[in-house]
Structure 1
Amino acid sequence: MERRKAIKNIGYGSAALFSSSLLFGSLQSCTATPKVDWIPVFFTPEEAAQMEKICEGIAPKTTTPGAIEAGVPAHLDEAFSIFSTADEASYFKRGLAVFVDNFKDNGEVSFNKATTEQVTDVINAYYKRYNDQPDILKNYRETYNDPGEKSDEFVEAHFVTSVVDATFRSYFTSELVGETVMRYDPIPVKYEGCIPYEAGQKSWSSV
């Protein structure tokens, strides 16, 4: 699957995405870290493995690096450990568990047996559902600050929207993607605030 098509699919109903409360700008751009070398501090080892699979489904490796190669899962682990509140951490982890448990209901196989493309398809199916049933995200927004136990539907919506948003933020601010995929100037010596855009040009790297 081409990256442009994958991102277009993931972006179905992208207006429903919520900005993550994680301040990624407060961290240095993530570096590509082999998955066998990073030790999770926020996630359990099982959750970390699940996050790798989900992040790769959101930003799969094609002719350009995937999320794992760009170090996204390890970066999110660090970011969540530093910036998430107790409620955000609880919602995200519970939502991850619900997402994994419900995976077969939304796809063709169980999560553990799913391919990267099947993970992409399931994420996309969530956004199609959110587009077709806008009350799901409307209720999520309206009840976010309400006290009391949150429903599985609430934490599931929190996880899906947060993990997609966070993965893309981390991916496009990663050192690897910034230097090899986007337009990159290692020694910028001139600031131009207004440059004509030509169709098809890549966005400038932020690293």
Structure 2
Amino acid sequence: MERREALKNLGFGSMALFTSTVFFGALQGCSSAAELDWKPVYLSPEEASQLGKVCEGIMPKTSTPGAIEAGVPSHLDSALANIYRNREAEYFKRGLNVFVANFNANQEVSFDKATTEQMTEAINSYFDKYEADKDILRNYRAEFRKEGEKDDVFVETYFVTNVVDSTIWSYFSSELVGKEVMAYDPIPGKYEGCIPYEPGQKAWSNV
């Protein structure tokens, strides 16, 4: 299944289950993340590289560009520095570190050596767990509204749910995807509120 076809059937919920095993399975790639070729402003170079690997596991390169090629990791790093509230940027950063540590502890390969497909499977496992036990996200949302120090379970849940949502948003907001993957018309003309949409037609870009 093509990435766009998988996305067409996907619905999102705020800070909830943004995806499913079927979705990520449809997006699997087989290559590992590229070397870091940009300068992070919030994350350390190592964390930025790790984030890139996770993002590529969410939106891997297929017949269309992957998250790294679309500049998603650098976009998210900039958002952490300039848009996220301080405490939530810290949740994301801590959650990334917990995610990597748990990957190394629970997977057959180390995080650094994992392929994109293995990263996809690891992310899937979290959403399988969230779907099987609804209390995980219910308790997470309740804890999110409280002040005070957060434990590793909380920040990892924040990272996993947030990075999926943010990666998809950033990917489809990127100039590369907006102009080369989606239907793009820089001078769209008059507004038409209801036009035919043919099967297989590209979704319109918002770039």
**Range of TM-score over shorter length:** 0.7 to 0.9
Does residue 57 of structure 2 align to residue 52 of structure 1?
no
Is the contact made by 2:52 and 2:73 (CA closer than 8 Å) also made in structure 1?
Answer: yes
Does residue 131 of structure 2 align to residue 135 of structure 1?
no
Tell me how far apart the structure 2 counterparts of residues 162 and 43 of structure 1 sit (CA, whole Å): 16
1:74-130 per-residue CA deviation (whole Å, 9 max, x = no partner) reads 111111111111210111111001100001445331211111111011111111110
The amino acid that maps onto 1:62 is: T
The amino acid that maps onto 1:64 is: T
- Structure 1 segments, 4+ long, off by >4 Å, are 4-8, 34-37
Unaligned residue ranges in structure 1 (runs of 5+): 19-33
Does residue 198 of structure 2 align to residue 203 of structure 1?
no
* 2:116 equivalent in structure 1: 116
The amino acid that maps onto 1:140 is: Y
* 2:147 equivalent in structure 1: 147
Q: Return closer, same or farther for 1:115/1:35 CA change in 2, 3 Å cut-off.
A: closer
The amino acid that maps onto 1:149 is: E
* 1:171 equivalent in structure 2: 171
Greater length-normalized contact order (CA 8 Å, ≥ 6 residues apart): 1
The amino acid that maps onto 2:173 is: T
Q: Return closer, same or farther for 1:6/1:202 CA change in 2, 3 Å cut-off.
A: closer
Is the contact made by 2:55 and 2:167 (CA closer than 8 Å) also made in structure 1?
Answer: yes
Shift of 1:146: 1.1
Tell me how far apart the structure 2 counterparts of residues 98 and 53 of structure 1 sit (CA, whole Å): 15
1:10-47 per-residue CA deviation (whole Å, 9 max, x = no partner) reads x7x954247xxxxxxxxxxxxxxx96542110111111
Shift of 1:148: 1.9
Is the contact made by 2:17 and 2:130 (CA closer than 8 Å) also made in structure 1?
Answer: no
Tell me how far apart the structure 2 counterparts of residues 142 and 176 of structure 1 sit (CA, whole Å): 38
Tell me how far apart the structure 2 counterparts of residues 150 and 88 of structure 1 sit (CA, whole Å): 11
Tell me how far apart the structure 2 counterparts of residues 172 and 4 of structure 1 sit (CA, whole Å): 11
Aligned-residue CA RMSD (Å): 2.3
Shift of 1:186: 2.2
The amino acid that maps onto 2:201 is: Q
Tell me how far apart the structure 1 counterparts of residues 39 and 76 of structure 2 sit (CA, whole Å): 12
* 2:30 equivalent in structure 1: none
What secondary structure is seen at the aligned counterpart in 2 of 1:102? helix
Tell me how far apart the structure 1 counterparts of residues 127 and 96 of structure 2 sit (CA, whole Å): 16
Is the contact made by 2:42 and 2:81 (CA closer than 8 Å) also made in structure 1?
Answer: yes
* 1:194 equivalent in structure 2: 194
TM-score by length of 2: 0.83
Alignment of 1:3-152 (within 5 A): 3=3, 15=13, 16-17=16-17, 36-152=36-152
Is the contact made by 1:57 and 1:119 (CA closer than 8 Å) also made in structure 2?
Answer: yes
Tell me how far apart the structure 1 counterparts of residues 41 and 17 of structure 2 sit (CA, whole Å): 26
Percent pairwise identity: 63
Is the contact made by 1:61 and 1:67 (CA closer than 8 Å) also made in structure 2?
Answer: yes
Tell me how far apart the structure 2 counterparts of residues 155 and 39 of structure 1 sit (CA, whole Å): 25
Unaligned residue ranges in structure 2 (runs of 5+): 19-33
Tell me how far apart the structure 2 counterparts of residues 130 and 104 of structure 1 sit (CA, whole Å): 20
Tell me how far apart the structure 1 counterparts of residues 101 and 37 of structure 2 sit (CA, whole Å): 27
